């Protein structure tokens, strides 16, 4: 089946979620972060994801910005930095302007030049995603940005993956879905998408019913993968 649409997760896939903590750690106002930023970034991301899963199970949906703040509060407290409101605010401000990975613009341009439909499917709220896309300067390379807020539940709920077909049409097999989260790529494969897992950290495979079709070190091979399916 020929790939017609390439859909990307946003945070950790197109946008570097460690960038906020790394940048704040380089600023002289926050010396306590210099030796702990990597741990804080990891804890922040892990709690952010865990809270989405728990809220999906319990039905207590909140938008991704609230979940992002709650995850950060946990991470700051774990690092004994919870009493620094200026640091908290700086990290949250930086999260609205996360850097895209270096290969992202050229990769998306190659897909568009080859005639593929492109889009984002993310847990992020619409305003967060708009800020990230605009900051990275990639809006003209995307046909649409889809948020879970339209269905009120986080990934990997099938209702989220359904949004792709509702917006772009075609069959599930005609979609190449790309995520840096092994669980997301696996669940999307189980759903029926062709999937690629961008495993930048060289993590083990998640033990789930679905497994990604491709495992990559970065996003550069995506145009070639789309062309050969």
pLDDT tens sequence across 5-40: 999 999 999 999 999 999 999 999 999 999 999 999
pLDDT at 152 over 90: yes
Average pLDDT over residues 201-206: 95
pLDDT tens sequence across 96-105: 999 999 999 9
pLDDT at 1 over 70: no
Is residue 195 within 8 A of residue 179, CB to CB? The reply is yes
Average pLDDT, the chain: 97
Q: Give how far the C-alpha of residue 89 lies from the chain's centroid of Cα atoms, to the nearest Å.
A: 21
Instruction: Report residue 164 as tokens.
Output: 């792709």
Average pLDDT over residues 117-131: 97
pLDDT bracket for residue 147 (50, 70, 90): very high
In the chain the domains, ranked by start, together with CATH numbers, are 5-15+99-228 (3.40.50.1000), 19-95 (1.10.150.240)
Q: Please report the beta strands in 58-204, taking only residues with DSSP state E, as ranges in sequence order.
A: 117-122, 144-147, 175-179, 194-198
pLDDT at 171 over 90: yes
13: nearest Cα among 96, 121, 115:
121
Residue tagged active-site, from 9, 16, 43, 184: 9
State the pLDDT at residue 227.
96
CB within 8 A of 43, min separation 6: which ones? 71, 74, 75, 78, 79
Average pLDDT over residues 177-205: 97
Q: Is 9 a catalytic residue?
A: yes
Average pLDDT over residues 151-170: 98
State the pLDDT at residue 229.
74
Q: pTM (2 decimals)?
A: 0.96
pLDDT tens sequence across 32-83: 999 999 999 999 999 999 999 999 999 999 999 999 999 999 999 999 999 9
For 215, the enclosing helix (H) or strand (E) is strand 214-216
């Amino acid at each position: 089946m020929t790939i017609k649409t390439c859909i990307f997760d946003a945070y950790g896939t197109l946008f570097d979620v460690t960038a906020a903590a790394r940048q704040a750690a380089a600023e002289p106002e926050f010396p306590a972060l210099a030796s702990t930023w990597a741990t804080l970034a990891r804890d922040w991301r892990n709690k952010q994801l865990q809270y989405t899963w728990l809220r999906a199970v319990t039905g207590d949906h909140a938008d991704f910005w609230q979940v992002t703040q709650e995850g950060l509060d946990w991470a700051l407290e774990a690092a004994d930095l919870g009493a620094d409101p200026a640091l908290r605010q700086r990290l949250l401000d930086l999260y609205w302007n996360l850097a895209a990975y270096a290969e992202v613009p050229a990769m998306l341009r190659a897909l568009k030049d080859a005639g593929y439909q492109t889009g984002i499917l993310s847990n992020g709220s619409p305003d967060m995603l708009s800020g990230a896309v605009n900051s990275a300067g990639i809006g003209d390379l995307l046909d649409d940005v889809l948020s879970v807020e339209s269905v009120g539940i986080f990934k990997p709920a099938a209702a989220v993956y359904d949004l792709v077909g509702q917006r772009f049409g075609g069959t599930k097999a005609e979609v190449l879905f790309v995520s840096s989260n092994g669980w997301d790529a696996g669940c999307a494969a189980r759903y029926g998408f062709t999937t690629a897992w961008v495993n930048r950290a060289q993590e083990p495979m998640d033990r789930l019913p679905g497994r990604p079709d491709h495992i990559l070190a970065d996003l550069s091979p995506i145009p070639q993968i789309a062309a050969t399916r």
